Chain A
Amino acid sequence: MDLYEFINFHLIPGLLLGSIYALGAIGVTLVFGILRFAHLAHGDMLTLGAFLALGVAGLTGLDPWFALPVAMALTAGAALLIDATCYDYLRERPRILTVMASLGVALMVRAVVQMGWGTDPTTYATGIVRPTEYLGWFLLRDRELMTFAAVIVLVAVLEAFLRLTRWGRAMRAMSDNPDLARLCGVDNRQVIRLTWVIVGMLCAAAGFLLGINTEVWAMMGWWALLPIFAAAILGGVGRIDGAVLGGLVIGLAEELSVLVVPAQYKSATAFVILLLVLLFRPRGILKGKVL
């Protein structure tokens, strides 16, 4: 295998998948860090976001990329609704019950998607797109360039929000120490709602990008759940930069694993990495929290 082939058939697909995992992992790490539980419905929220984008594009005839913001808003609304109905009342009870409730939510969200759109895989746009060659080395399709751009913009906006605004600082304070944050006048409930809005938007974006680069189908999010969690824990729970790094590592590892193990075990890679991280370095690469 020469370098050209390695770059275009392993490196770029790995980074592409990794940047999508990174968006998912940021959502997981925000919930893990601020609400302090493993949100097992995250994958199916991705699916919901992807299908909402499909629905909006179908109803309005918009280009799917323009349907994405609408889908992000709708998914944020869905996340708020789910929090109010399924998680909020468990806040004073042991946290593990919320984890259990989130697994129930995963099943419910998936059932809604399956009732609404069926179970057959579909796509946003039909037809084969040929990649363009850049600099004589890199084969990229337009949608792949757009994906990288979208991920970079979203991460930059989120980082700026968390670092520069009052609400962003409140979120980080609550992630560090919720009681102390409350004593300093941070309204925990508002911060939780804000977190769900952001997480819902990130879910829709990740689901849409996964769908536009592969297929849109009912199990797509559930399949992505394990790599996303592996990425969040590998990077360090509660760290945005960690989630991005973890996402890229997991995406690359999955795409490179086909060089050594049979292709059908590609999705086992994330699981192996997850177990190794939990065994040797549960705080992750960038020293996140251990709950």
Chain B
Amino acid sequence: MDALGLLNYALFILILAGIYGLMALGLNVQWGLTGLFNAGIAGFFAIGAYASAILTGPAVAGRVGGFALPVPAGWLAAMALAALLAWPIGRVCLRLRSDYLAIATIGVAEIIRLTIRSEDWLTGGVRGIAGVPRPFGDLPYLTAQLAYLALVLAVVVVAYRMMERQLHSPWGRMMRAIRDNEAAAAAMGKHVERRRLEAFVLGSALMGLAGALFAHLNRSITPDAIDPMIVTFLVWIMLILGGSGNNRGALLGALVIWLIWSLSELATDRLPTEVAIQAKYARMFLIGLALQLVLRFRPDGLLPEARRTRPRTQDHP
């Protein structure tokens, strides 16, 4: 690979790292801050990707489309639809222990996958949706990549700042109180279920936005573009390795894990075909193993959540 190709590849990896970082931020609100187990991240991602692709894409015979809305409108719709999907699921499951939410979100992701594959009039079925406009797509390739990277990073920075504000606001304090001792928080008059629902919806909206960024990056979206288990897993490992409860940890984890994941793909692609298929599953095994290892040896992550509790009686200068 020559220098230019290498640069292009590096830019591509960084853009995807940013998109994953956005999902890790979303999961941090759900898991890190609130303790909700969302096992269907890929479903919310897919909803966002398709929503934005349909609303901004060109008209095709036999499929709903041709709205040609501006890209930002597509992104907003992606967030809104992902949130709209999260709301009823949250309403049903958040009264119960998080195990039930895990099962229900697995179900949601499967139903979305099923719908995307079978509803040709809406999603184009297995062919997917092509011709999704890309911001700065008219520029020469390298410049366009750089511009898209800047755009993704800007979105990530805005999301990060907003999440940090939420984290340090009274709302964030309340969420941690609920997570750490639900009964005590409820006894203090906090509306536990509603706060959880807010966190679940907010996190899902970020995942939907990440999906929209992905669809516009590739100018298309197909059912095979994303492997649900792999997307969901990568985001989980990113957050836990980075440090759940810590937004910077989530972003760091996203960068580290995505680099490792893409570089390992680069390595396995060079293997002969018959070994390469085995290697694909070996990599899947390794993500499962990585999760076990992180849970076991580094449960607080690289950047653990800052604990603000100090002994009451002591005075701090």
Q: A93 to B295, alpha carbons, bound, how many Å?
A: 10
Closest to B96 in A: A282
Tell me if B39 and A110 are in contact (CB < 8 A): no
Does B144 belong to the interface (CB within 8 Å)?
A: no
* Residues of B with C-beta under 8 A to A115: 278, 281-282, 285
Closest approach, in angstroms, between the C-beta of A188 and any C-beta of chain B? Answer: 20
Does B308 belong to the interface (CB within 8 Å)?
A: no
* Residues of A with C-beta under 8 A to B264: none
Tell me if B114 and A101 are in contact (CB < 8 A): no
Closest to B95 in A: A282
Tell me if B103 and A274 are in contact (CB < 8 A): yes
Does A114 belong to the interface (CB within 8 Å)?
A: yes
Tell me if B111 and A107 are in contact (CB < 8 A): no
Q: A288 to B34, alpha carbons, bound, how many Å?
A: 27
Closest approach, in angstroms, between the C-beta of B61 and any C-beta of chain A? Answer: 22
* Residues of A with C-beta under 8 A to B295: 90, 97, 100-101, 104
Closest approach, in angstroms, between the C-beta of B6 and any C-beta of chain A? Answer: 30
A-B interface contact total, Cβ < 8 Å? 121
Tell me the count of chain A residues lying within 8 A, CB to CB, of chain B. Answer: 45
* Residues of B with C-beta under 8 A to A262: 118
Closest approach, in angstroms, between the C-beta of A150 and any C-beta of chain B? Answer: 27
Contact of A274 among B35, B95, B98, B107 (CB under 8 A): B107
Closest approach, in angstroms, between the C-beta of A87 and any C-beta of chain B? Answer: 10
Q: A175 to B191, alpha carbons, bound, how many Å?
A: 31
* Residues of B with C-beta under 8 A to A114: 281, 284
Tell me if B98 and A99 are in contact (CB < 8 A): yes
In chain B, residues 227-266, which have Cβ atoms closer than 8 Å to a Cβ of chain A? 229, 233, 236
Q: Which residues of B come within 8 Å of A, CB atoms?
A: 35, 37, 39, 89, 92-93, 95-100, 102-104, 106-108, 110-111, 114, 117-118, 229, 233, 236, 278, 281-282, 284-285, 287-289, 291-292, 295-296, 299
Q: Which residues of A come within 8 Å of B, CB atoms?
A: 32, 37-38, 40, 85-86, 89-90, 93-97, 99-101, 103-108, 110-112, 114-115, 225-226, 229, 233, 262, 264-265, 267-268, 270-271, 274-275, 278-279, 282, 290-291
Closest 9 CB pairs of A and B: A108-B288, A111-B285, A38-B99, A107-B288, A104-B291, A271-B107, A111-B284, A114-B281, A104-B288
10 CB contacts below 8 A, A to B, read: A37-B99, A107-B285, A107-B287, A114-B281, A265-B114, A267-B114, A278-B96, A278-B100, A282-B100, A290-B97
